[in-house]
Amino acid sequence: MQRLRGRAALAAAAVIPVLLAGCSGSSDDAEASGSGSEAGVVRVLIPDGNLRRLGEPCNGAGAFRSVHAQATFTVEDGDGVEVARGELPGGTAEQMMDVSFREGMRQPTMCVMTVDVEGLTSPDGLEFVVGDGFAVPIEPADDAELIGEVLIS
């Protein structure tokens, strides 16, 4: 029993400095490793009409169930060449219709995902592709914080 405690203490002594070194990295380290590249933000709108409470987490429902968190997406140029790839994040339920429902009540919503796309600086001529069923042009956004918007239909 004493021997096991000694080994556990040695293992902890070896692991702790490694963990601490990982936590103390500077932002310069991140840039040097290439993870400091710019990401453009695309807002993905999924008008599935699923009944949800506003603000609750969501994924596409019904015919849009393939548009979900962790689904792979690509961004392609006009020739079908892939220019970016990633995974979708979870979405948030937003109001779909301009109808006043009781507060806190479930209502028809659309699921909205905010997607960071590495290296995306402009939506011009690009398509957002999710799975093998949805390929939609990226439209310029009115919001200056977004590169574009995609309406999955």
Pick the range with the lowest mean pLDDT from 7-11, 40-44, 72-76, 90-94.
Answer: 7-11
Is residue 31 left, alpha or beta, with left meaning phi > 0 and alpha meaning psi from -120 to 50?
A: alpha
3 vs 108, more confident: 108
Q: What is the pLDDT at residue 22?
A: 38
Q: Is the per-residue pLDDT at 7 higher than 80? A: no
Q: What is the pLDDT at residue 104?
A: 76
Q: Is the per-residue pLDDT at 17 higher than 70? A: no
Q: What is the pLDDT at residue 30?
A: 35
Closest listed residue to residue 92, CA positions, set 130, 52, 64: 52
Closest listed residue to residue 112, CA positions, set 43, 20, 54: 43
Report yes or no on whether pTM surpasses 0.85.
no
Strand, coil or helix: 122:
coil
Residue ranges per domain, the chain?
1-36, 37-151
pLDDT, tens only, 88-129? 999 999 999 888 887 778 999 999 999 999 999 999 999 999
* H/E stretch holding 115: strand 107-118
